[in-house]
Chains A and B, each alone.
Chain A
């Protein structure tokens, strides 16, 4: 089955700097990679996603890149702000309503003022 590894487990960056979170996956059949943000006391919320036919996707200050050959994908947050502090999860699945999402173990991002 699919296995998703995520690094680092904790990340602290100065406000305004960039943050990068990296993930690897094992199942070459996975073709959809969502990223979730989980704030304290809340459930995960989808913030951006990428399909395997695309190498990069950007939405304002966040971007995701995918290297299908190496089975790596990354989340980039630029110009970090205090409200970016949260736990971020990468995930992998097949682009099908019947497929199970496999989550990474999460990265706790802290933004220093």
Chain B
């Protein structure tokens, strides 16, 4: 079974330019997450989708970041305009969440996109 797919794996851009990252979750996984991982730090949640609905975007800097998951499958995270401080790894993860069940649903992470802003 294929894991979480992310592209591109690496991206170098100049500041003030736009950039977009794409994620395809594990087939059948209804929950999708975008994380930011700064160098030497653990991942921090940016946004979580349940199907096509963004249910937790409290940590997403909405002035420059946007995300979409139009058909409830793959997702795109965009930054416009990028700033020097946005240089980091952007991780996508997915899980299978079952409604009405109190349980932890294991998140499976993709390899990430390493963004360098010059």
Q: A residues within 8 Å of B by Cβ?
A: 4, 6, 9, 32, 34, 41-46, 49, 89, 91, 93, 95-101, 103-106
Residues of A within 8 A of B98 (CB): 97
With A93-B104, A95-B102, A97-B105: A43-B42 Cβ-Cβ less than 8 Å: no
Instruction: State the majority secondary structure of interface residues on A.
Output: loop
Nearest to A104 among chain B residues (CB) is B42
Q: Select the residue from B31, B101, B104 with max chain A CB neighbours within 10 A.
A: B104
Interchain CB contact under 8 A, A103 and B104: no
Q: Which 8 pairs between the two chains have the least Cβ-Cβ distance?
A: A103-B42, A43-B109, A97-B97, A89-B42, A97-B105, A95-B104, A44-B109, A32-B104
Residues of A within 8 A of B43 (CB): 44, 89, 103
Residues of A within 8 A of B102 (CB): 95-97
Instruction: State the majority secondary structure of interface residues on B.
Output: loop
Nearest to B100 among chain A residues (CB) is A97
For A96, give its contact among B44, B45, B104, B107 (CB under 8 Å): B104
How far is it, in angstroms, between the C-alpha of A106 and the C-alpha of B107 when the chains are bound? Answer: 18
How far is it, in angstroms, between the C-alpha of A42 and the C-alpha of B91 when the chains are bound? Answer: 10
Contact residues, B64-118 vs A (CB, 8 A): 91, 93, 95, 97-98, 101-107, 109-112
CB distance from B14 to the nearest CB of A (A): 24
B interface residues, how many (CB within 8 angstroms) = 27
How far is it, in angstroms, between the C-alpha of A101 and the C-alpha of B106 when the chains are bound? Answer: 11
Nearest to B59 among chain A residues (CB) is A100
For A97, give its contact among B91, B103, B111, B112 (CB under 8 Å): B103
Cβ of B4 within 8 Å of any chain A Cβ, yes or no, is yes
Cβ of B53 within 8 Å of any chain A Cβ, yes or no, is no
CB distance from B108 to the nearest CB of A (A): 8
Nearest to A39 among chain B residues (CB) is B111
